[in-house]
Amino acid sequence: MIQPIFPPAVQTITMASRLNARIPRQIMWQTIHRMSIRHQLHLRKLREKGIS
């Protein structure tokens, strides 16, 4: 029988999901908020370039 290569990856995924469960939702929302702010700034820069 050939030994499958993927079990370690599966282990890391389960570990990550366990960590995710521990991470409070607030941090997740903060990250999303930061990303959206960055996105808005980027759009503003593009608009300014279009105007000038």
Q: How far apart are CA 10 and CA 28, in angstroms?
A: 23
Task: Read off the amino acid at residue 49.
Answer: K
Q: Which long-range contacts (CB under 8 A, 24 or more apart) does 33-41 make?
A: none
pLDDT confidence of residue 50 = 87
pTM of this structure = 0.39
Task: Please write the tens of the pLDDT for every residue from 3-51.
Answer: 655 666 677 777 777 777 777 777 878 888 898 999 899 999 989 988 7
pLDDT confidence of residue 5 = 59
